[in-house]
């Protein structure tokens, strides 16, 4: 209908107030359009009304490429010696649909017909909607199991501080939160959920023996100032300065986010507390020969901390080689990087040597196998067949021949509405837990 035709219909409807009521609002178009066109449009309007709940289904269905992929990135992809990348799990849905369509068409639907159940397309769509709900119930249960492996993040108006001891002796840390804490050599202690409003400064007192391994300090107590940032986890590395005094080094915030590919992520923090080594390089060499090299900047006047960006590396065993201009074979050690793990490689140099090196696991590697996602993919595939295929079948069989394109346009509009609904919910950021989003 043109704009003027629609206006004429409304005007005719207004002029006919007081007359005998029409049975449908399209009946007011009689006189300008044929009775067949009006009857066909009535059928189309009924079908479009049926599409009203469709956006809810598509908002669930299309999360296979987003939330379910994020979930897969937290799982182990090793199956029978082969690694499955999280993105590849999206192939499961079309593969299952291709297998199940002939099974439903040749086996299940004829059996249902003999039992006089699910003969109506609307009944199949209703059951398909229930199956979609069960798919996300399955995804929610799986997410509950995965959440036990996630790092504990600070709540609102709180922060956390990780204190790492790189010295060769135990330290006693007096803090403003609770009783004194002892942090042994190489250990990490987390002060979790401490109050923080934007930027909050805290003073820690560190007690160390005068003879700390091979190090000798002039005094036992040292004061450390730490600025905590709201909703952030900071790492404080306790090392030494070039004047042989305890010094705290604060790194960039810890990024616990796992890579979408499932590859382990690692960053290097190098404490340069002497002037004896120059042109230091840290190389990570895989068993296949792949090599990532980090160059440590030289600072001649004072001790410093150099921190690399996070690197995504293939899973496996790596040889860590540290070299300098003075010694090309300064240090060598092997580390294992597991799928989904987030690591911090902390290195502290001494006089002509590497005094401390340790690989800290900041996010637990993926342990739950990715095949646990298969049940939810099977359920959503069954839902697609019973809801999507039955819905299209109903639309084509019920829509008039000249109106089939309108019903198809309405169908795809419902898909767009479902995606728009997901965007709105995601941007509102109402859920801290992905289980609640499911």
Hey, what domains does the chain have and what are their CATH numbers? 39-148+368-437 (1.20.1250.20), 261-365 (2.60.40.1120)
Q: Is pLDDT above 50 for 80?
A: yes
How far is 380 from 59, CA to CA, in rounded Å? 12
How far is 130 from 125, CA to CA, in rounded Å? 9
Structure pTM?
0.74
| Cβ count within 10 A of residue 100 | 18
pLDDT of residue 342: 92
| Cβ count within 10 A of residue 269 | 21
Which residues on neighbouring strands pair with residue 165, listed in sequence order? 238
Mean pLDDT (whole number) for 143-165: 86
Q: Indicate the pairing of strand 265-272 with strand 311-312.
A: antiparallel
How far is 364 from 147, CA to CA, in rounded Å? 11
How far is 109 from 61, CA to CA, in rounded Å? 23
* Closest C-alpha among 166, 305, 190, 179 to residue 246: 166
Alpha-helix runs per DSSP H in 253-389:
374-383
pLDDT of residue 2: 45
Angle between helices 374-383 and 92-103 (to 10 degrees): 50
Mean pLDDT (whole number) for 35-39: 75
pLDDT of residue 12: 52
How far is 307 from 234, CA to CA, in rounded Å? 13
* Closest C-alpha among 90, 69, 88, 70 to residue 78: 88
Min mean pLDDT across 12-26, 341-355, 405-419 is at 12-26
User: Binning pLDDT at 50, 70 and 90, where does residue 22 land?
Assistant: low
| Cβ count within 10 A of residue 4 | 9
Judging by beta carbons within 10 Å of its beta carbon (0-12, 13-18, 19+), is residue 421 exposed, middle or buried?
A: middle
């Amino acid at each position: 209908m043109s704009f003027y035709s629609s206006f004429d219909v409304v005007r005719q409807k207004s002029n006919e107030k007081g007359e005998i009521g029409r049975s449908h609002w399209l009946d007011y178009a009689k006189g300008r359009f044929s009775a067949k066109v009006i009857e066909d449009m009535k059928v189309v309007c009924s079908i479009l009304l049926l599409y009203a709940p469709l956006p809810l289904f598509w908002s669930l269905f299309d999360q296979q490429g987003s939330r379910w992929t994020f979930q897969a990135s937290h799982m182990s992809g090793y199956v029978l010696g082969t690694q499955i990348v999280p993105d590849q799990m999206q192939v499961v849905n079309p593969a299952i649909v291709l297998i199940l369509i002939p099974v439903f068409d040749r086996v299940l639907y004829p059996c249902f017909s003999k039992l006089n159940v699910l003969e109506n397309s609307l009944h199949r769509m209703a059951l398909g909607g229930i199956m979609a709900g069960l798919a996300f119930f399955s995804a929610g249960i799986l997410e509950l199991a995965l959440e036990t492996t996630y790092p504990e993040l600070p709540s609102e108006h709180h922060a956390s501080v990780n204190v790492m001891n790189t010295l060769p002796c135990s330290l006693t840390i007096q803090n403003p939160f609770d009783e004194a804490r002892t942090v042994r050599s190489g250990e990490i202690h987390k002060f979790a959920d401490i109050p923080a409003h934007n930027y909050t400064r805290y003073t820690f007192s560190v007690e160390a023996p005068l003879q700390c391994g091979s190090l000798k300090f002039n005094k036992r107590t040292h004061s450390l100032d730490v600025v905590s940032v709201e909703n952030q986890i900071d790492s404080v590395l306790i090392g030494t300065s070039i004047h042989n005094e305890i010094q705290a080094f604060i790194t960039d915030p810890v990024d616990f986010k796992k890579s979408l590919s499932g590859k382990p992520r690692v960053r290097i923090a190098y404490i340069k507390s002497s002037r004896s080594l120059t042109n230091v390089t840290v190389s990570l060499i895989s068993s296949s020969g792949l090599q990532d090299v980090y160059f440590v900047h030289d600072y001649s006047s004072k001790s410093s901390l150099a921190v690399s960006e996070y690197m995504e590396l293939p899973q496996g065993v790596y040889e860590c080689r540290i070299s300098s201009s003075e010694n090309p074979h300064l240090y060598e050690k092997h580390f294992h990087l597991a799928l989904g793990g987030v690591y911090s490689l902390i290195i502290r140099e001494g006089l002509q040597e590497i005094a401390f090196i340790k690989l800290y696991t900041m996010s637990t590697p993926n342990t739950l196998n990715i095949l646990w996602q298969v049940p939810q993919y099977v359920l959503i595939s069954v839902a697609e067949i019973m809801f999507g295929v039955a819905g299209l079948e109903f639309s084509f069989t019920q829509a008039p021949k000249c109106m089939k394109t309108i019903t198809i346009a309405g169908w795809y509009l419902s898909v767009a509405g479902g995606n728009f609904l997901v965007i709105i919910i995601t941007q509102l950021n109402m859920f801290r837990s992905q289980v609640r989003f499911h």
